[in-house]
Copies of this chain bind each other. A is one copy, B any other.
Amino acid sequence: MSSETSKTVDSQALQAEVNRLKLELQTLQVEDRSEEIFLGNYLLTRLEQLGVKSMFGVPGDFNLGFLDLVEDHPTIDWIGNCNELNASYAADGYARVKEQSLGVLLTTFGVGELSAINGIAGAFSEMVPVLHIAGVPSTTQQKSKPMLHHTLGDGRYDAYLKAAAQFTISQADLTNAASAASEIDRVLVDCIVHARPTYLTLPTDLVYTKISSERLKIPLSHLPPPNDADEEEFVISEIEKLVNEADNDVVVLVDACAIRHDARKELREMIEKTQFPVYSAPMGKSVVAETYERYGGIYVGSISHPEIKEKVESAKLILSIGSLKSDFNSGNFTYSIPTMRTVELHSSWTKVKYAEFPGIGMKQLLPKLTQRLHAYNALARQIEVPKFVANVPQEEDDVISHNWFWPRMSGFFKPKDIIVAETGTSSFGILDVPLPNDAVFLAQILWGSIGWTVGSTLGAALAGRELGLGRTILFIGDGSLQLTVQEFTSMLKKDLKPIIFVLNNSGYTIERYLHGKTRHYNDIVNWKWTSLLSVLGDEDGTKSKSYTVKNKAELSELLDNSSFANADVMQLVEVIMPMHDAPRALQVQAELSGKTNKYVA
């Protein structure tokens, strides 16, 4: 029941607020020193409470003491990555799949933490809750600042923190035991409430300092503060008025922040109760089940299929949920939706036409809106929604074209699959393919760091296993895979069984489309892709299988093979594709960016 959801969300938010206040109070009170634990274990208990079961990173001499505690922890598993960038990507992928929890990355001072900074910046950009813990020299050394290895040689012990501050929303530089617990809680809460990375230094000596465990009795919550009731009621009335005026021509457009700020459930209830037609931006793909009868597919400005473009842009009112208008998420800024016809719901604010309402967040607003708009469903149902289907085209040749490949993959997916698409041909290609129910879709459409999916597939597969989800399926190009390939090792080590499709098209295809179609700088060296897994950790060949498919028939046969589809071992499929082919959406996007981003005079 909508009203129940509404009450639940409200009371949960209130409880969270009560807890936050209790914690603030406790920070000011004299500590109960009766039950003391290692500071390192305080942190681990907090992570355990928040559902963290896997920790990513690389050992280094300033985090080894803490690693003893991690290794001895009964429910948190140390993954141990091949390098720190991959580890940060893995923490990101893990956090995306384990909604309401977070990803945790542990690195060492300087060399380790800086190697991970691109991954952390990506989590910032794409709004993913990742806690970056850097093991740092002891508090004594940080005061005397000796010229230790991993330092810049000039005594600037704060340089790494300053860099981290650019890409995290809050930082805690632990310097003493007295404030450590409240500092840890602060960065954890910031991380999960705002869905952004935070940064925590862990000096070697503090890890084994004893602190009170009293605060651990009060749980931390990712729920935002409650909306102001009067203002919320006003906003709802305003929105209802607009819905009313729009007759039955209302469209819901869902986007990234509905996933990131944990409004998936509330949103789904809203669209089911109201029966409004719903479309998704690329970064909102899979928020709403793509098989849902009132779902019409992907809206991405000028790149949209003409029918979708027409339906969305001509609607009298667009309820935009969690919008994030980046270039690749908006068809290079070609939305044609006037503000006068738009209501925007965000994590912590709402916008009705031009009026902004800071502090009114969607998580609590949505259930109440659903209650009020429920009544319009009979009218809403009259609006037709295009069917979102992927038809496998009949092509004359046997070449595996993008045009054929992506619709063909659609039939291979199963409910609860985790589908990861690398920036480039894969992230554009998969847009036009409907995913099954409860599928989880991962792509880095705003940040777009190539190579990200290898690490994030590791994290996603671990999270998927913890949550009992289905297979993890990665689509990646040959160029991107070369950046981060070693992380296959960690997948084998942890007995994960992802299916990896390597699109072998001889280089950086997305770059070729943007510029330099025949330039050598877009070439890469060809690898023996099907030997990778046996070299990188499957020594006796029992943990993996690899395949090359050169034409449509070979790929179809493999996809139809139930042993392959069951994914009982890790599998890699090298898919031979033409060098200069690309999905439709990428071709259009490249044309559009070429216009705004000139490469030559």
Contact = CB atoms under 8 A, between A and B. Distances in A.
Interface in A467-520: 482-486, 489-490, 492-493, 508, 510-511, 514-516, 519-520
A159 B167 contact: yes
Nearest to A111: B449
Contacts of A117: 114, 117-118, 163
Given A60-B511, A597-B137, A527 B520 contact: no
Given A59-B521, A67-B519, A483 B147 contact: no
A388 interface: no
A601 B209 contact: yes
A332 to B, nearest CB: 9
A531 B536 CA distance: 10
A287 B446 CA distance: 48
Given A166-B163, A485-B486, A521-B67, A114 B121 contact: yes
Contacts of A126: 153
Nearest to A135: B599
A59 B520 CA distance: 10
A506 to B, nearest CB: 13
A446 to B, nearest CB: 6
A367 interface: no
Nearest to A514: B61
B600 A65 contact: yes
A272 interface: no
Contact of A483 (B83, B327, B511, B519): B83
A114 to B, nearest CB: 4
Contacts of A449: 110-111, 115, 150
A558 interface: no
What is the count of identical protomers in the complex? Answer: 2
Interface string A535-572: 11101000000000000000000000000000000000
Interface of A: 38, 58-62, 64-65, 67-68, 70-71, 78, 80, 82-83, 85, 110-111, 114-115, 117-118, 121-122, 124-127, 137-138, 141, 146-153, 156, 159-160, 162-163, 166-167, 204-205, 207-209, 324-328, 333, 445-451, 482-486, 489-490, 492-493, 508, 510-511, 514-516, 519-528, 531-532, 534-537, 539, 593, 596-601
A452 to B, nearest CB: 9
B522 A59 contact: yes
B534 A528 contact: yes
A483 B486 contact: yes
**Which of A118, A160, A523 has the largest number of chain B CB atoms within 10 A?**
A118
A153 B166 contact: no
B121 A521 contact: no
Contacts of A118: 110-111, 114-115, 117
Contact of A516 (B68, B127, B598): B68
Contacts of A83: 85, 451, 482-484
A447 B526 contact: no
A245 B152 CA distance: 37
A267 B330 CA distance: 62
A167 B209 CA distance: 32
Given A111-B118, A114-B117, A493-B525, 18 more contacts: A64-B511, A64-B514, A65-B515, A65-B600, A67-B516, A68-B600, A70-B521, A85-B85, A115-B118, A141-B597, A146-B327, A147-B324, A153-B326, A162-B162, A162-B166, A204-B598, A482-B489, A490-B525
